[in-house]
C-alpha cells in the first residue's frame, strides 16, 4: 500500500514540474516558469486586406448586377427584385462567347410567363463565359438570381464604369422608391 502511495506521490510531483494546463491550477513557481518560456515580444501577423467595398455587388437602374470580386471575369446577372417581377422564367437567351460589348448593350434576354426583358451589360468588355445550365433549367434565375442564376462573365475593359453603379443599399432604396410609385 505504501508503495502505491509513493508512486502516486511521485506522479504528482512530476505533474507539478511539467507545464501547467491552466494558470488557475499552477503554483507560483510554475507560473514564473511559464512566463519565462513565453517570448517577450510577439510580432503582429500581417495579412492581406482589401476594402469590402471593392468586393460588393453593384446594381444598375435596369436591375442587373455585377460582381467584380474577380477582376479577370466579373459576373453579371439580374437582381432578385427583377426575378420576382418577371415571375416564372421559361427561356433565357445568353450572349455569345468572345462577344465585345459596350456599357448598356443588350447581351441577351429573359422570357417569363408574364413578359420578356433584355439583359443589358453594366460594363464594357469581352464575354468570357456564359451560364449554359440556364438553357436547360432557366428556373435557376427564379431560385437563385444572384447566385447560381448568373448569366455571363465579362473581362472588363474599364473598371471605372463600376464606380457609377449603385451599391446594395442604394439599390434597395431605388427599388423601394420604384415600388411606391
Residue 13 has pLDDT above 90, yes or no: no
Greater confidence (23 vs 82) lies with 82
> What span, in angstroms and rounded, lies between the C-alpha atoms of 71 and 161?
13
What are the sequence ranges of the domains in the chain?
A: 57-158+166-172
Q: How confident is the model at residue 41 (pLDDT cuts 50, 70, 90)?
A: low
pTM: 0.67
Round to whole Å and give the CA distance between 58 and 68: 8
How much is the pLDDT for 40?
56
Give residue 120's pLDDT.
94
Least confident of 47-51, 59-63, 115-119: 47-51
Cα separation of the two ends of the chain = 91
Binned at pLDDT 50, 70 and 90, residue 7 comes out as low
Separation of alpha carbons 119 and 116, rounded Å: 10
Mean pLDDT in residue range 117-130: 95
Domain 57-158+166-172: top CATH class: mainly beta
Radius of gyration of the chain (CA): 30
- Residues 143-153 have pLDDT tens digits of 999 999 999 99
Amino acid at each position: 500500500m505504501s508503495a502505491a502511495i509513493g508512486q502516486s506521490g511521485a506522479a504528482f510531483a512530476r505533474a507539478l514540474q511539467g507545464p501547467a494546463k491552466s494558470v488557475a491550477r499552477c503554483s507560483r513557481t510554475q507560473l514564473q516558469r511559464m512566463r519565462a518560456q513565453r517570448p517577450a515580444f510577439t510580432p503582429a501577423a500581417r495579412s492581406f486586406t482589401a476594402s469590402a467595398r471593392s468586393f460588393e455587388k453593384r446594381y444598375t437602374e435596369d436591375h442587373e448586377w455585377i460582381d467584380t470580386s474577380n477582376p479577370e471575369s466579373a459576373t453579371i446577372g439580374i437582381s432578385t427584385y427583377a426575378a420576382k417581377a418577371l415571375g416564372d422564367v421559361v427561356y433565357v437567351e445568353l450572349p455569345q462567347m468572345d462577344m465585345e460589348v459596350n456599357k448598356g448593350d443588350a447581351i441577351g434576354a429573359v422570357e417569363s410567363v408574364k413578359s420578356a426583358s433584355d439583359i443589358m451589360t453594366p460594363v464594357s468588355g469581352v464575354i468570357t463565359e456564359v451560364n449554359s445550365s440556364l438553357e436547360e433549367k432557366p428556373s435557376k434565375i427564379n431560385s437563385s438570381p444572384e447566385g447560381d442564376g448568373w448569366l455571363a462573365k465579362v473581362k472588363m475593359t474599364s473598371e471605372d464604369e463600376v464606380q457609377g453603379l449603385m451599391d446594395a443599399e442604394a439599390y434597395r432604396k431605388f427599388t423601394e422608391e420604384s415600388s411606391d410609385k
